[in-house]
Each structure stands twice: as structure tokens, then as C-alpha cells.
Amino acid sequence: MLTTEYDGCGRCCVGVRRLSRRSDDTSSPERQAQQIIAAVEEAGGHVIAWADDWEVSGATDPMTRKGFGPWLRGEMGPYDGIAAASVDRVGRNVRDTLNTQELLTGQGRLIITADHPGVWDFTDPNQENEWLMKAWGSQMELRMIQKRNRDETLRARAAGQPRQMPPYGYMYVRLVPTGKVDHVAVDLVAHAVISEVAQRILADETGKITVHSEAARLTRAGVPSPSDRRAQLYGRPMKGTPWNPKTVRAILTSDAALGYLMHQGRPVTGEDGKPVRLADPLWDAATHRALAEKLARKRDGARTPKGTHLLSGVSWCGNCGARLYIAGRSAGQPASYGCTGRVRGIPASQDCQPAPMMAVPMLDQAVAEWFVKEYGAGEVMAKVYDPGTGYASEIKELEASRARLREDRAAGLYDEPDDAQWFRTRYAELGKEITELRSQPERAPGMRMVPTGKTIAQAWADAEDDAVRREMLNEYDVRVVLHPVGAKRRYSVTGVRLMDVAA
């Protein structure tokens, strides 16, 4: 929207706009802007800036709002007052609305709203009472909206219907645009992305493929993050948000990946005593349990490199044994691998002089040539995680459902005769399913190797970047030791078969 510069006329106003939902046509951004401009011009002023808060609830304190808050906190420069389409655009909470009015009035600033003629004069008791009544009406309306939302959430949960936004890997299917959700389906694009992440983490035996390294890999590859994928599905512009390791972990370990209806992070239990399933799972229960177990393991303190340098985390100092870091990034000069242990004050590195250093391209090329020469003729074997039959996981899931029923019975939820009969029936059915599963032969989960028909040299050449090639080095436990200039050996490389080279 067009604005004019601050000129100190005493009527330089900031337009305040807010929407709980961007799709709310009854108070759209354009409608609010027109009302604000008309009200400000009628009061003899002009708009110098816009404080916009989209997708922000009226229950949010104006001081903490992203658009309006900085103006109230005095962080945005001079202005003479604010203008809004109505009092409820300032806030829907009586306390917050009165506090905002008191703050602005105390600073000598104007308040203009399109639902009140002219500038508000709070020295007039009638206008003060009118402001209070409008704020109170806004709060009452907010409470009614919140109650309707809670009631609808309870109804949808009892009916086994989705209420919140779909988790990553799923999408809502509507038979007509903007209509009610008909059913939940697997988002094939997101499913392919997160399934690859799950397989890479499960197949990793080096400890170098983690949620942190996968988040960095997906960001580098330009894969839309969950919020951007949701925007993509709904035709909204993507913001280029990077992947977050916590988000990756949450997606992989949440029971939502099994297609369950969720509430407060837990599956909703249906009348049969089992979790309510809305859609097909992204993977089976055995794989889900394996992911939860692997991602729950405590770290050993070592950090997984998230950059693209080939030898990050696999190169070491020949003097003091410290890990090499990227150093010497001077203008016009290539970066170098070097030992910074003495500079960082590591006691074991205090005598590391001269510290070894070599240009990144030079050492990368030397290690790449060695690796392809030693391993290039071999065939790439893909590691695939086999979840097994998964009967044990299903038994644990059914036992958990049975335990929940027992806890509810102990709490007195099934004391009535009809409820007691339902409890006995469901409890017996769960016990029967558990007995049948225990009678089935169990195949333990594990890794299996699958030939790809591609040589290691071809895989090295086809790799997307050096981060992928570094994963190959880790697979063969390649370690590089760099010595200073003048040493008998400038560098040495070893692998799983203890082959080394000196130059």
C-alpha cells in the first residue's frame, strides 16, 4: 500500500492491520486498508507505514506482535499515532486493548479507528466508555470463537476426523475447493523425501548420517521444507525455509507417520481400543520402532559435519593428532585444511609447530585419486534396512492399547453395565490378536546388502557434491593424516583394508 514520508505534521499515522486467517474475506487486507486510509484522511492525517500481522490471533498481546509490536516498543522511528479499521484489529483482549490505549495516550499519540468518528479523545468519559465497550465486545466474540473451535475439535476427534494441518508426508483431499476435508492421503512427493531420509539413517553404521546432516543435505538440495511443501500444495508462495534437525527428528519418530489421528502428540484411541487411523502409514510399525530406537541413542560427543568439504571430520594433524579445520581464507586464496589446535588452546597441541596446512583442492584431489584407485573397481552395494516381520512391534502396540484399557477401567471409566460389557469384549479381542501374532514365526530386523550394478568409481563421479563423497569415505573408514612441510611424508591415507599411501 502507498505511504507518505513522516513530516512532523502531528497526524503521521501507522496503519495497523491484523487477520487471524489470511483467507478471511470479511476483513481482508485491502478492505482494512481502504477503511484506514479513509478514516485517517477524514481526521486530516496520512499513513506513513503499515504494521501488518497476518495469521495472528486477536488474543496475541499487541506488544509481542511481529508487525505492531516494534512500533509500540519505540523501535521503528517517529510517528504521531496509529489507525485501525476497528478496535478489534488492535486487540481482542480487554486488558491488552486498554494497556495499548494507555501506552499510546501516555506518549501523546493519536488513536484513530474507522468504527469511530475522528480521533479518539479519552479525556471524554463517553468516548472512554465506548472504547471499553468495544474492547469488551471484541473479547466476548473471541471467547465465543474459541469455544466453537474447542467444540469442533472435540467433535472431530470423537468422529475420527482431522482437525489440524496435516503432518509432513500427508495431504488433505477435498472434493470441492475450500470444502471440508473428505479424507487424508499420502503426499507421494513428501513420502519419497522422508522415506529416503529414514532409509539413510537406518542403513548408516558410521554414525555420520544424522538428523542434522540430513537437514543440511535436504537444504542444500533445495528440497522444500515441510512449511514450504504445505505452501506448495495450497498454491501459496514458498519462503525458502531451511530444514530443521528437530523437525526431521519429529517427523521420523512421531506416531503421525503411521497414519494415526493425533492429539497433543499422542494417537487418539477409537471405540475398539486401538489408535484411529486416518491414512496409510509412511512405513510399517517395525520400521517406525527402529527409527525411534536409533534416534533415541545418546550422542558420543562427536559432531557430524554438515558442510560440503570432502575431508571434514576425516582429516587429522600428524603432529598433535587434532582434527583439521578449514583455515587461511584470505582474499583471492583457496581455503586450506590446517591444524588450529595450538591457536585454540588445546593442551595436547601446544607444541604443534609448524602446524600442517595444505590447500583444500590439492588434498581433496590427492585423496580422491587414492580412493578411486584403491576401491573404484568394486561394486556399490546398497544397504537396505529390513524391518523383519514386525510382529513384535505389533504385539507391543496391542499390549499398549490393552494397558490403556486397563488403566481406564481402574480409573472407573467402565463401571456401568453396558460399558463393562464393551470393555470385556474389546479386551478379549486384543488378547486374541496378541495370541495369534505370537504364534507367527518372527524374522528379526536387520540390514541386507543389495547390488546396484554400479562401480564405486562411477558412484564417486556421479555424486551430487563432496558431502556425498565424504559419506563414501566414511563407509570405508578412510582417514587422512596431514604432516607439515618438510616432513618425511606430507600426508598419509588409510582405509578399512589398512592400505596407505605416502607422498
pLDDT of 281 reads 92
Nearest to 460 by CA among 384, 378, 383, 385: 378
Domain assignment present for residue 162? The answer is no
- Mean pLDDT within 393-400: 81
d(CA 202, CA 208): 12
236 lies in the same domain as 262? yes
Instruction: Report which DSSP code applies to 256.
Output: G
Same domain, 330 and 473: yes
State the average pLDDT over residues 320-344: 82
Question: Residues 379, 411: one domain?
Answer: no
Look at the chain and report how many structural domains it folds into.
4
Do residue 320 and residue 296 come from a single domain? no
Q: Which of 237-251, 380-394, 405-419 has the highest mean pLDDT?
A: 237-251
pLDDT (average), residues 83-95: 92
Task: Choose one of 285, 304, 323: the last residue of a domain.
Answer: 304
Q: Is the pLDDT at 407 greater than 80, yes or no? A: yes
Positive or negative torsion for Cα 373, 379, 381, 382: positive
Statement to judge: residues 291 and 323 lie in one domain: no
Read off the pLDDT of each residue in 415-433 and give the average, rounded to a whole number: 84
pLDDT confidence of 502, banded at 50, 70, 90? very low
Name the pLDDT band for 465 (thresholds 50, 70, 90). Answer: confident
Asked whether the predicted pLDDT for residue 391 surpasses 70, the reply is: yes
Q: Is residue 474 part of a domain?
A: yes
H/E segment holding residue 494: strand 491-494
Q: What is the pLDDT of residue 74?
A: 92
Q: How confident is the model at residue 125 (pLDDT cuts 50, 70, 90)?
A: very high
Q: What backbone torsions phi and psi does residue 112 show, to the nearest 5 degrees?
A: -125, 135
363 within domain boundaries: yes
CB 275 within 8 A of CB 267: yes
Task: Work out the pLDDT band at 426, boundaries 50, 70, 90.
Answer: confident
Q: Are residues 274 and 422 in the same domain?
A: no
Q: Is residue 7 part of a domain?
A: no
Residues recorded for the chain: 503
170 has a pLDDT exceeding 50? yes
Domain assignment present for residue 298? The answer is yes
Give the pLDDT score at 290. 87
pLDDT at residue 450 tops 60 = yes
Q: Is the pLDDT of residue 313 over 80?
A: yes
Whether 334 and 470 map to the same domain: the answer is yes
Question: Looking at residue 286, what is its pLDDT?
Answer: 81
Question: Residue 161 above 80 pLDDT?
Answer: no
pLDDT value for 159: 66
- Given a cut of 90, is residue 136 above it in pLDDT? yes
Query: Is 253 in the same domain as 322?
Result: no
pLDDT tens per residue across span 317-329: 999 999 998 876 6
pLDDT at 235: 82
Same domain membership, residue 486 and residue 337: yes
Least confident of 94-98, 162-166, 211-215: 162-166
pLDDT at 499: 42
Q: Which of 103, 126, 142 is the last residue of a domain?
A: 142
Q: What is the mean pLDDT of the segment spanning 121-143?
A: 92
pLDDT at 341 over 80: yes
Query: Which comes out higher in pLDDT, residue 86 or 306?
Result: 86
Give the separation between CA 145 and CA 84, rounded to whole angstroms.
21
* Residue 27 and residue 54 in one domain: yes
**268 confidence band (pLDDT: 50, 70, 90):** confident
Residues 212 and 223: their CA atoms lie apart, in Å, by 15
Is residue 148 a part of any domain in this protein? no
Residue 337 lies in a domain: yes
User: Which DSSP string corresponds to 128-153?
Assistant: HHHHHHHHHHHHHHHHHHHHHHHHHH
The pLDDT value given to residue 497: 56
Does residue 136 share a domain with residue 179? no
H, E, C per residue of 344-383: CCCHHHCCCCCCCEEEHHHHHHHHHHHHHHHHCCCEEEEE
pTM: 0.60
pLDDT of residue 141: 87
Q: Give the least confident one: 35-49, 144-158, 401-415.
A: 144-158
Average pLDDT of the segment spanning 10-31: 80
Residue 312 above 80 pLDDT?
yes
- The half-sphere exposure of 473 on its side-chain side, counting CA atoms within 13 A, is 23
Angle at 481 between CA 478 and CA 487, to 5 degrees: 150
CA 318 to centroid of chain Cα atoms: 40
Opening angle at CA 314, ends 312 and 299, nearest 5: 85
Integer Cα distance of 95 and 61 in angstroms? 9
d(CA 253, CA 295): 8
6: in domain:
no
CATH number at residue 45: 3.40.50.1390
Query: Residue 68 is part of which domain span?
Result: 12-142
Is residue 26 predicted with pLDDT exceeding 60?
no
Instruction: Say which residue the cell 607444541 belongs to.
Output: 351
* Rounded-to-integer distance, Cα 217 and Cα 214, Å: 5
- Contact call for residues 186 and 169 (beta carbons, < 8 A): yes
The answer to whether 43 and 121 are in contact (CB under 8 A) is: no
Residue 64 has phi, psi (to 5 degrees) of: -105, 0
pLDDT band at 383 (very low <50, low <70, confident <90, very high): confident
Residue 354 sits in the same domain as residue 495: yes
Percent of the chain past pLDDT 90, that is, above it, reads 46
Q: Find the range with the poorest average confidence among 340-354, 394-408, 430-444.
A: 394-408
Cis peptide preceding 354, ω within 30 of 0:
yes
pLDDT above 80 (res 246):
yes
User: How far lies 242's CA from each of 190, 191, 213, 239, 276, in Å?
Assistant: 15, 18, 13, 9, 32
Higher model confidence: residue 267 or residue 273? 267
Q: Which three cell numbers stand for residue 193?
A: 523425501
pLDDT for res 264: 75
Does the pLDDT at position 503 exceed 50?
no
pLDDT band per the 50, 70, 90 thresholds, residue 331: low
Please say which residue of 304, 332, 360 terminates a domain: 304
Q: What is the C-alpha separation between 383 and 406, in angstroms, rounded?
A: 42
At 442, the pLDDT band (50, 70, 90 cuts) reads confident
C-alpha 143, offset from chain centre: 30
